[in-house]
Structure formats: C-alpha cells, structure tokens
Structure 1
C-alpha cells in the first residue's frame, strides 16, 4: 500500500520510547508534520504487537490486501471548524486501509451520515485515494493504533494523549465544534480541550447522546461547542442504541454551530 502521509520530522526520541508521543508532538508546528511523526510511533508494545499480528493473520475477506499496520492519523483539513473524535482504528478497517473510519462498518455509517448533511463529498469510504473529501471536518481518535477487542488500556490512552492534544491545539484557530463519539471519546476530549485553553464546568459534564456543552476560551475569545453522540459501532446500530436519524441530527447541529 502506498504511504500517502508526510515523512516524519526530526525528533530526539526513538519511536519505541514511551516518551515519544509527549516529546515529539510538542515539536511539530503543522497538522501535516503531526501526521508524519505520529505514523512512526511504537510507544505501546501491546498495540504494536496486535496491529502487526492482525496484518499477518488478516481477515479472510481481505486476504489479498496489504495492511497499513501502523498508527492511523486524523483525516480532514487542517483548518477544520468541526472535529469528530472517535475511539481507535478498527483492526480490519483503519488498520488495514491507513485512513480512520475507512473500510469498516462504523465508517460506513459515519461517512454516509456526513455526506447526507453536506459534510462529505461522497457517502462511502473504502481506501485512501477513493476521492472522499471532508468539508470543514477533521476526524481523529484518542488512540491511534487498533487495540485488541477495541479496548485500549488507560495507560495506552494516556501515552497516546499528546497526539490528540497537539492536534486540537493546531486546530484551535479555526475550531468551533467538537463531536465526541461515545463515552471513551468524550472522556478523552475533556482534558485535551482544557489543556488547549477551553474552560470546563465543574463538575465535569457527563457523556450522553445529544449532550451539548459550551466551553469558553478567554485566550482566543471564542467558545467551542462540545456535543456527545453515541459511537456508530456495529453493536449500537444493530441494537438501535444509535439510529441513522439520531446520528444525522447531531451532525446537523454540529454543522450549524460550526457555521455560526
């Protein structure tokens, strides 16, 4: 598979050093540079072993595919007004294709909904280079490697956090709205939003579908709207916990806030 991500910028830490994310993320000055250093990361041994094992064993439907098997960076423009924060790449989705929410059932639902509300150029996402363009939206995750059973550990989440913190800091000049998909994305978003200068209410707001919190940032004089949305996982869709109309409604609200 062709590597379409920028080459890493020089850094002082080896990619398998536990401090690589924290010390390297702070050095980058653009979103493109962030993506470049992120894809080299090997800071979490369990996640590295899993993502690479999956790429060898593969799923029968993808037997002929060459898996990406590296950390998956965010996707979307560097001047996005809306950020969508999920959980982690799917083992046979983003870990295979190299693009977040691409080639898996959750992505099928998410990108179709984004297209329906005018935030994506097409309803399908199959592979990088398929023509998909996001309109004012950047999609990212708190954990950039596919975790076993879709469950990163607390330590893995914390080790990976500097990537998300730096990404939101780089988006800060244009960012108006954050949509957190699921409780994991919500909990991961709160500390990085606080670190980027937005004030969190006390007690910290609890996750819920459709929850809306307005966060002030006195440094830049502009608020950001934080919206909660159930994750478009296969299970949530199958059980009706999240329906397509529910997802579209949150995305429409997010788009209105982003344009205001």
Structure 2
C-alpha cells in the first residue's frame, strides 16, 4: 500500500511519486509553501494570498482541522475503496478548479473520500462529478462530459468550482467549526472574482449558506431576512458599486438526490442555463 511522504518543510504528507500516465494534477505547492495549522493560520494565509495560484498552493497543504487531516489521509492510505486500491491517492485538501477568469462560480460541499480526495481535482472520479460535468458539457461550460482524472483533458470555460470545505469529511459531514475554519479560503476566492463574477450556483444548503456568509464578510449587500435555500431559489447580492451577483440554488448532485429523482438532468440543466 502506498504511503504519503512528508513535505520537507511543513510536514504535510504528500503522495509518493505517481507513475506516468495516471493524470496526476500539477502540484500548486512547493517546499517553501507554508501550511496552516489552525484557524488563525488559515485567515492569515488566505488574506495574504497574492493570486489564485498562491491561494491554491496554501489550500493544498492546509492542516488546520485535525479530524479532517486524519480522515483524508486514512482513506488515502489504508481505507481505499477496493476498486481503487492500486491507484495513487491525492490525500490532501483540494484546490478550486476551472477558468481563472470565470464569471460564474459553483460552490459545493466538500471533496468525496474516494473522488476528489483520490484524484486531486474537484468533483472528479465519482458519481456526483459524472452528473455535474455531463450537465456542464450540455450547457456549454465544459469541453467534455466526463471527468476521470486530472490528466483527462477536461477544461472549463466561464466557470470555476469551489468547495465550502476543502478536505473530505467523514460521512460527508463537516462540523460547524471545520466549516468556519475553512471559510477564509472561500472569502479570498470571492475577493479575487468579485470584479467579474455575475452568478454563483450553490449546490445544496451548505453551499448556499457558505456563499451568503462569504458575501456578508466581504461587505456585500445580502437580503434580510436571510434568503431561503431551495432548488431554483434566487437572491441578488450587492457587490459594491458594480452590478448585483445572482445567487442561484440547486439540489446537490449527490447520489442521494440523483438516484431518487429528487434532482433530474432537466432540473440541473435549467439552473445552469439560467446562470
């Protein structure tokens, strides 16, 4: 079973060298990338990030939430799904993915333990990603309907995907403290994008609440009372002296929703088209 090798400076455990052709993502971090070890570190490093790549680098080595660090690395070493046992696992926080100049942002929940935690790219390698990328392809945002590995040639145009929590959480349920600790990464993403973003798609109520919280912290105008989440729900967020940003809600692309018919392809396509 493969192990995770320690970062020479921070102690962050990195995957062992990956065989050619496996499609491993380009690593945004280097030996000098500082890792966050608590909530204060996250706030400081996120606020100081100079650009998107610098932010991605710090996200990818974050160790601020002990429970999440333990879980993501356990899955990546001893807890792999049988069908992926011979594959290398990313086992780290997952940076955002997509067009760096996107006018549309998609805010999800967190990486899946055997999906993005394995592949190192948002919504890649699991059933939720199958649904999302197929829909993004149908609506013109993606050049391919499938996402299997970071080297599969998938490209997004006009959209960028961000997670509320950047590490795979046990049972897909991050704690309130873990969501709060991770929030400055999302705040900084929105700060980088606020001069161009025109719409945000929130996948699930957690993504909806995270987007509203980030907007408030950035000083955007948020309707009162708090807009309620629902599939197809909309709220206008005032972003300073520029045009409002449309927040649109969608049921999450989890199997719990897609297998039961709570979320259909037509429903997902409709909200994506509205963006």
Shorter-chain TM-score bucket reads: over 0.9
Q: Which residue of 1 aligns with 2:91?
A: 69
Are residue 139 (structure 1) and residue 155 (structure 2) matched? no
TM-score, normalised by the number of residues in structure 2: 0.88
Given the superposition, is the C-alpha separation of residues 129 and 45 from structure 1 closer, same or farther in structure 2, using an over 3 Å criterion? same
Q: Which residue of 2 aligns with 1:221?
A: 242
Are residue 85 (structure 1) and residue 107 (structure 2) matched? yes
Secondary structure, aligned partner of 1:205:
coil
Given the superposition, is the C-alpha separation of residues 94 and 182 from structure 1 closer, same or farther in structure 2, using an over 3 Å criterion? same
The farther-off stretch of 99-108 and 190-199 is 190-199
CA distance, structure 2, for counterparts of residue 60 and residue 40 of structure 1 = 26
Write the deviation string for residues 21-62 of structure 1: whole angstroms up to 9, x where unpaired. 111000012111100111010000000000000011200000
Secondary structure, aligned partner of 1:179:
strand
Secondary structure, aligned partner of 2:206:
helix
Q: Say how many residue pairs are matched.
A: 252
Secondary structure, aligned partner of 1:5:
coil
TM-score, normalised by the number of residues in structure 1: 0.93
Are residue 16 (structure 1) and residue 28 (structure 2) matched? no
Given the superposition, is the C-alpha separation of residues 91 and 49 from structure 1 closer, same or farther in structure 2, using an over 3 Å criterion? same
CA distance, structure 2, for counterparts of residue 222 and residue 67 of structure 1 = 42
Are residue 30 (structure 1) and residue 51 (structure 2) matched? yes
List structure 1 segments (4+ residues) > 4 angstroms apart after TM superposition.
8-11
- TM-superposed deviation, 1:15: 2.7
Q: Which residue of 2 aligns with 1:242?
A: 263
Q: Which residue of 1 aligns with 2:192?
A: 170
Query: Contact (CA 8 Å) 2:223, 2:236: kept in 1 or not?
Result: no
Tell me how large the CA RMSD over aligned residues is: 1.4
Query: Contact (CA 8 Å) 2:257, 2:263: kept in 1 or not?
Result: yes
**Which ranges of structure 2 fall in alignment gaps of 5 or more residues?**
1-17, 19-23
- TM-superposed deviation, 1:3: 5.0
Q: Which residue of 2 aligns with 1:257?
A: none
Query: Contact (CA 8 Å) 1:186, 1:207: kept in 2 or not?
Result: yes
Q: Which residue of 2 aligns with 1:102?
A: 124
CA distance, structure 1, for counterparts of residue 147 and residue 119 of structure 2 = 10
Query: Contact (CA 8 Å) 1:31, 1:78: kept in 2 or not?
Result: yes
- TM-superposed deviation, 1:5: 3.0
- TM-superposed deviation, 1:198: 2.1
Are residue 115 (structure 1) and residue 137 (structure 2) matched? yes
**Which ranges of structure 1 fall in alignment gaps of 5 or more residues?**
255-260
Query: Contact (CA 8 Å) 1:51, 1:147: kept in 2 or not?
Result: yes
